[in-house]
Amino acid sequence: MRLAVAFAILCAVLVANAALAQDAPKGSAERGKKLFVDLNCYSCHGTHAQGGGRNSEPPIPLGYPFAGFLNQMRKPRLDMPAYEEKLVSAQEAADLFAYFSSIKAAPAAKDIPQLRN
Amino acid sequence: MTQARKKTTQPPQTPEDESGLDRRSFLKGAAAAGAATAAAMAAATKVARGAEARAPKAEGEANARGDSFIARPGSDFMLDVIRTLNIDYFASNPASSFRSLHESIVNYGGNKKPEFLTCMHEESSVAIAHGYAKAAGKPMGVLCHGSVGLQHAAMAVYNAWADRVPVMMFAGNGMDANKRRPGVEWTHCVQDPAGLVRDFIKWDDQPASLQHFAESTVRAYKMAMSPPQEPVLITLDIDLQEEAIEGKVSIPKFSLAAPPQADERALRDAAKMLVAAQNPVIVADRCARSQEGVEALVKLAESLQAPVICTGNRMNMPSAHYLNQSENRPGLIRNADVILMLEVQDPWGTLHGMGDPWKDVRRAAKPDVKVIQISLADFMMKSNYQDFQRFCPADLAISGDAQTSLAPLTAAVKREMSSTRAAELAGKADGLKKRHQDMQERMKTAAALGWDASPVSTARLSVELWNAVKNENYCLAVSDRIAWPKRLWRTTQFTNMMGGSGAAGVGYSSPGAVGVALANRDKGILTVTLQPDGDMCYAPGVLWTAAHHKIPLLWVMYNNRGYVQEVMHLQRMAGLHRRDPKTAKVGTMIYDPEVDFAKLAQSFGVWGEGPISDPSKVGPALERALKVVKGGSPALVDVVCQLR
């Protein structure tokens, strides 16, 4: 459960749309993707930032702003590692957020034949 | 320990026979029959010499090699005893300390019931027996050296202990120092073999005679099978196996004890609490041991309209039943006023969470929630290993076997239920069905995330495998390594999902699945498993065991190329220590080089395909592999997956 909440918070950010990114500093999605891999974020959140979690917890509804995302990185709730300024700068955090914002939404479950059964 | 050496040329006898024909009787009989030819006399002389086969000799007194034999060794009688217990298999890596019993199994017993399963690691032997017991509902035998073999086996024994599974362990050992061959035989002998594992077995003995062996082995089996079911260990003395049967020995009549049912008055009190509850919740852990347990739990839940949370260690409740609300767990626990825990290993952890690394405790349930426990936890009388978890007070603690106690509890609930209350509860059904449906849709939506990702998402992998087996009588041999099958697959039978290792000791998944598949082979159940790569690397020789013994199992590699759980631990430690988190893959990831599991399988004689990273290619590969498995052979498909 602890991880589920932590994951869900980040997951909400991962799938945040462009509108949510408007309150974030300008970032580079390309740099963010590279940083996402370098920091091993993919070990919990997937190589496509699609989510996964220790037990692959499902996401909660969207709606987390950049400020909240940055706070979660600096002083994470629950199980997520902390990334302070000297490890991930404000610009890098913006890059990460830009990457998350660029990710296309997952297909709807109803449109996936294998999930209909 | 020393047995008088008496020889016989008697053919194999039935277990009911008493073995008492001694040398004098043999010679007398031979003479009376007028068959005392020179050849027969020569044979009798050899018998007499064979009587001293393992007896120490004075210097210069040694027998000529090949000049002696033992016609009726003690190990034949041991096998007779084992056969009365209906043990079908012995899993073993061969070793000299039980060479006589090994030979008896193969020749005297014809290698049938029990059949000798050739294993490549003692940990694999025990894990095979562990998985087998859960699927077969009865134990398998394991043979190992009492010293080095038991050391290899120890982790797997602990897994079986923590998973409450019976295993019949037999460990070879030479007690009489006067008869040990110099060198390795001394190195491989031990004063107290069971001491190594006594903290996590139910009972053990070191028989000093064949009669002692018979009684202790029958006792051990009975104890292993009585809930709480656990491994047991019998030490096999080398001399007892190899020396001839002496005097009259007999096999005790065998019968299992009825499992302990909870006290009727306590069940009545529990029924009153449950009927009066506004939001009762049932948590089922290692509750069911068979389909009977599943059906009994359904009846109890329906009588109360109480949602059930299955922990996943056993298949307790059909997934499609609207009262299986396992994925609604946090809300159910939070709002419950009465929680019924059925063989729950960690009651405290059910009601609480704990932050890491600051160890802050978070209450997950209401402060005044009433807790009823039905469990045999108080009968687990060991203290060293801490699998009993943190102490959790109960408002009503009932000692009893949960599966056995379900039917009388349901009967008590019905007695306490007024017609008015029954009508009220019936009115809850529609809401519970809606929540069940919502839960399932939520799981599907979550599974869609990263659907087309490469490497393959664990949800996609699980769904592709489900589509390959959904029209079969299937079994997922190890069902706790990926959470998605429990969320998305349709389960109706106890045998659909076999849980996990018990103690989270890595190395169980692959051999455990082989054991499950062996038990399912004769039942017409198709066995598949989602196999972590790190676990497979522990003892991959089990692939050969499956190929050699024609055990049909489909391994689907959940190959995330690492011990990924540890990656985040490293990241978190780095964050706490204000150091670089980018180093987290050092010591945790399996790369440079990457393991080619298809080739590994092929090298052991198992059909293999992969590695596959494209999600669209998983389904067709599974179809090809299942044709092999349905043909009676094992197969492996290596799928490179997302890390979680």
Task: Give residue B606's identity as a one-letter amino acid code.
Answer: V
Mean of pLDDT values over A68-93: 85
Smallest Cβ distance to B450: which of A43, A46, A55?
A: A46
Which run of H or of E encompasses B476?
strand B474-476
pLDDT digits (tens, 9 = 90+) for B399-431: 999 999 999 999 999 999 999 999 999 999 999
Chain A residue whose CA is closest to B585: A40
Q: Is residue B490 part of a domain?
A: yes
3 state DSSP class of B294: helix
**Among candidates A56, A80, A112 on the partner chain, residue whose Cβ is nearest the Cβ of B644:** A56
CATH number at residue B392: 3.40.50.1220
User: Is the separation of the CB atoms in B209 and B2 below 8 Å?
Assistant: no
Chain A residues near residue B643 by CB distance under 8 angstroms: 42-44, 46-47, 52
Assess whether pLDDT exceeds 70 at residue B86: yes
User: Average pLDDT for residues B591-597, to the nearest whole number?
Assistant: 96
Final residue of a structural domain among B231, B257, B283: B257
**B50/B112 Cα distance (integer angstroms):** 28
- The predicted structure's pLDDT at residue A67: 84
Residue A107 in this model has a pLDDT that exceeds 60: yes
Say which CATH number the domain at B127 has.
3.40.50.970
Contact A56 B582 (CB under 8 A): no
How sure is the predictor about A59, in pLDDT bands with cuts at 50, 70 and 90? very low
Instruction: Tell me whether residue B491 is exposed, middle or buried, using C-beta atoms within 10 angstroms of its C-beta: 0 to 12, 13 to 18, 19 or more.
Output: buried
Of the given ranges (B4-13, B110-119, B330-339), which has the lowest mean pLDDT?
B4-13
CB contact under 8 A, B355 and A78: yes
Same domain, B89 and B134: yes
Note the pLDDT tens digit of each residue in B91-146: 999 999 999 999 999 999 999 999 999 999 999 999 999 999 999 999 999 999 99
- Could you give the CA distance from residue B540 to residue B596 in angstroms, rounded to a whole number? 12
Q: How confident is the model at residue B94, as a pLDDT?
A: 97
ipTM for this model: 0.79
Integer CA distances (angstroms), B295 to A94, B102, B260, B287, B462, in order: 54, 41, 19, 12, 26
Clarify whether residues B282 and B304 are in a common domain: yes
The owner of tokens 């052991």 is B604
Residue B183: how many other CB atoms lie within 10 Å: 8
- Which residues of chain A are within 8 Å of residue B463 when distances are taken between CB atoms? 114-115
Cα–Cα distance for residue pair B56/B62, rounded to 1 Å: 9
Residues in chain A closer than 8 A to B329 (CB atoms): 1
Pairing, β B554-559 against β B526-532: parallel
- Taking the CA of residue A55 and the nearest CA in chain B, the distance in Å comes to 6
pLDDT digits (tens, 9 = 90+) for B17-69: 444 333 333 333 333 333 333 333 343 334 333 444 455 555 545 454 455 78
Please tell me the distance in Å from A29's CA to the nearest CA on chain B: 18
Q: Do B581 and A39 touch (CB under 8 A)?
A: yes
> Which of these, B228, B159, B200, B492, lies nearest to B374 by C-alpha position?
B228
Cα gap B10→B607, rounded to integer Å: 46
Chain B contacts of A108, Cβ < 8 Å? 445, 448
Interface residue of A2, A33, A56 to substitute, partner B, most B CBs within 10 Å: A56
Which structural domain, as residue segments, surrounds residue B332? Answer: 264-439
Is B416 found in the same domain as B539? Answer: no
Whether residues B433 and B458 share a domain: the answer is no
Alpha-carbon dihedral sign for residues A60, A65, A66, A69: negative
Domain termination residue (choose one: B257, B277, B309): B257
DSSP of A12-68, one letter per residue?
Answer: HHHT--HHHHTTSPP--HHHHHHHHHHTTTHHHH-TTS----TT-PPPPPS---HHH
Q: Are residues B465 and B393 in the same domain?
A: no
More confident residue, A46 or B445: B445
Could you tell me if B145 and B186 are in contact, meaning their C-beta atoms sit under 8 angstroms apart?
no
Q: What is the rounded average pLDDT of the residues B389-394?
A: 96
Q: Using CB atoms and an 8 Å cut-off, which of residues 435-454 of chain B contact chain A?
A: 441-453
Number of domains in chain B: 3
d(CA B237, CA B173) in angstroms, rounded, equals 5
Find chain B residues with C-beta within 8 A of A114's C-beta: 463-464, 466-467, 619
Pairwise CB contact (< 8 Å): A52 & B451 = no
Tell me, what CATH number does A80's domain have?
1.10.760
Do B109 and B79 form a contact (C-beta atoms < 8 A)? yes
In a domain, B444, yes or no: no
Number of domains forming the structure of chain A: 1
Provide the domain limits for residue A72.
2-115
3-state secondary structure B518-541: HHHHCCCCEEEEEEEHHHHCCCCC
Sign of the dihedral defined by the CA atoms of residues B213, B217, B219, B224, in that order:
positive
Q: Are residues B125 and B187 in the same domain?
A: yes
Q: Regarding beta strands B168-173 and B232-237, do their DSSP bridges make them parallel or antiparallel, or are they unpaired?
A: parallel
What pLDDT was estimated at residue B571?
87
Question: What pLDDT is attached to residue B31?
Answer: 36
* Domain-terminating residue out of B415, B439, B463: B439
Weakest-pLDDT range from A30-39, B1-10, B58-67, B315-324: B1-10
- B184 and B288 share a domain? no
C-alpha dihedral, B167 to B245 to B255 to B230, nearest 10°: -20
Nearest-angstrom CA–CA distance, B361 and B294: 34
A59-82 mean pLDDT = 72
Find tokens 């052979």 and name the residue. Answer: B633
The phi and psi torsions of B559 (rounded to 5 degrees) equal -95, 95
Look up residue B26 and give its two tokens: 């043999």
Q: What is the DSSP string of A61-114?
A: PS---HHHHHHHHHS-STTSPP--TTTS-HHHHHHHHHHHHHSPPPPPGGG-GG
Q: Pick the closest to residue B497 from B489, B505, B506 (CA basis).
A: B489
Chain A, chain B: beta-carbon pairs less than 8 Å apart: 133
B580 touches A at CB < 8 Å: yes
pLDDT > 70: what percent of chain B?
90
How high is the pLDDT of residue B28? 38
Cβ of B312 under 8 Å from any chain A Cβ? no
**CB-based contact A81 B572, cutoff 8 Å:** yes
B370 — pLDDT class (breaks 50, 70, 90): very high
Residues B478 and B423 in one domain: no
Question: Between chains, do A52 and B467 touch, taking CB under 8 Å as contact?
Answer: no
Decide if B149 contacts B95 (C-beta within 8 A): yes
Indicate if B506 and B595 belong to the same structural domain. Answer: yes
Min CA distance, B361 vs chain A (Å)? 11
Closest CA to A26 of A84, A81, A93, A72: A93
- pLDDT at residue B63 in the model: 52
**What is the mean predicted confidence (pLDDT) over B513-536?**
97
For residue A19, what pLDDT is reported? Answer: 42
Same structural domain, B274 and B249:
no
**Cβ contact A46–B356 (<8 Å):** no
> Which pLDDT belongs to residue A53?
52
Residue B315 Cα to chain centre, angstroms: 15
Mean pLDDT of chain A: 73
Average pLDDT, chain B: 91
Give the Cβ contact number of residue A97 at 10 Å. 26
Would the pLDDT of B170 be above 50?
yes
Compute the nearest-CA separation of B584 from chain A (Å).
7
B247 and B269 inside one domain: no
Does the pLDDT at position B174 exceed 90?
yes
B510 and B604 in a single domain? The answer is yes
Q: Where are the alpha helices (DSSP H) in B309-346?
A: 329-335
Is some CB atom of chain A closer than 8 A to the CB atom of B504? no
A76: confidence class by pLDDT, cuts 50, 70, 90 = confident
Please give the pLDDT value at position B331: 97
- Beta-bridged to residue B144, according to DSSP, are B171
